[in-house]
């Protein structure tokens, strides 16, 4: 059954358009998000802005309608074309590790469903997001637009090349895994910037955090993760 889902929260920059969206009915999605947020807190997410963004963005609209009922479980879900939306914990963890502030310019590689981009916009960032697959790019662009997510700029292309015209970025987040950190992304990271990226083989990946200080990259190995392949010129 389809119900009118009224979504009129304001996102991103002041002046973002509120809009109405007819999406799948998920009874009490607000309650499900509250429960999801409590579980994230129990797993160690403590940034109150991140928790409130996770409580606000209707994740069930970013997954296929048949999977909407599972959208608030802590699991990745398929979004078609062999790709997946990360589990809520990983989205929250990466958002927390990025240490964003409102107004920061953030580059995301791997738009996928657009959910991570919507979370970053809810945190007040200006989000440039790049997707390689045309259908996913189109779906995410249209969904973000219909939700009135103001400060997200979707691009179609090979994100391992970055977006030279929009660089430099305060933060860069890569949500797919390649063998190494693409050089263009390091170059397009601003001084004092943070780049979060999983690297490794398809079966052994770890999340890396690169900080740029005094022009020098400083790399920290965080935890083991599981992402889909990063393809492209500097990918697999």
Q: Which sequence positions are flagged as catalytic?
A: 86
Dihedral Cα 227, 231, 235, 236, nearest 10 deg: 80
User: Per CB under 6 A, does 133 bind ligand SAH?
Assistant: yes
137 interacts with ligand SAH by CB under 6 A: no
d(CA 71, CA 213): 38
149 lies in the site for ligand SAH, by CB under 6 A? no
Other CB atoms within 10 A of residue 148 CB: 18
Query: Considering beta carbons, is residue 114 or 150 the nearer one to ligand SAH?
Result: 114
Using a 10 angstrom Cβ sphere, with 0-12 exposed, 13-18 middle and 19 or more buried, the burial of residue 5 is middle
Instruction: Please give the structure tokens belonging to residue 42.
Output: 């129990």
Binding residues among 96-125 for ligand SAH as defined by CB under 6 A: 109-110, 112-113, 115-116
Tell me: does residue 176 bind ligand SAH (CB under 6 A). Answer: yes
Helix 88-98 / helix 115-122 crossing angle, nearest 10 deg: 40
Q: Which of 154, 193, 200, 235 binds ligand SAH (CB under 6 A)?
A: 235
Q: Which of 51, 57, 72, 86 binds ligand SAH (CB under 6 A)?
A: 86
Question: Which residues bind to ligand SAH, rule: CB under 6 A?
Answer: 83-86, 109-110, 112-113, 115-116, 130-133, 136, 158-160, 175-176, 228, 230-232, 235
């Amino acid at each position: 059954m389809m119900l009118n889902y009224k979504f009129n929260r304001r996102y991103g920059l002041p002046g973002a358009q509120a809009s109405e969206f007819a999406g799948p009915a998920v009874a009490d999605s607000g309650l499900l998000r509250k429960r999801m947020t409590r579980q994230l807190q129990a797993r160690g997410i403590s940034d109150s802005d991140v928790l409130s963004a996770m409580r606000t963005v209707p994740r069930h609209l970013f997954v296929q309608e048949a999977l909407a009922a599972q959208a608030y479980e802590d699991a990745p879900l398929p979004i078609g074309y062999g790709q997946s939306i990360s589990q809520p914990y990983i989205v929250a963890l990466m958002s927390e590790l990025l240490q964003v502030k409102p107004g920061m310019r953030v580059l995301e590689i791997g738009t996928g469903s657009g959910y991570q981009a919507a979370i970053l916009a809810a945190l007040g960032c200006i989000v440039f997001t790049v997707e390689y697959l045309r259908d996913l790019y189109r779906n995410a662009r249209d969904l973000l637009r219909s939700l009135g997510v103001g400060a997200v700029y979707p691009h179609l292309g090979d994100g391992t090349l970055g977006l030279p015209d929009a660089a430099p970025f305060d933060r860069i987040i890569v949500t797919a895994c390649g063998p190494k950190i693409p050089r263009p992304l390091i170059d397009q990271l601003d001084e004092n910037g943070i780049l979060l990226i999983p690297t490794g083989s398809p079966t052994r990946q770890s999340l890396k955090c690169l900080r740029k200080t005094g022009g020098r990259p400083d790399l920290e190995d965080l935890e083991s993760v599981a992402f889909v392949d990063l393809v492209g010129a500097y990918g697999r």
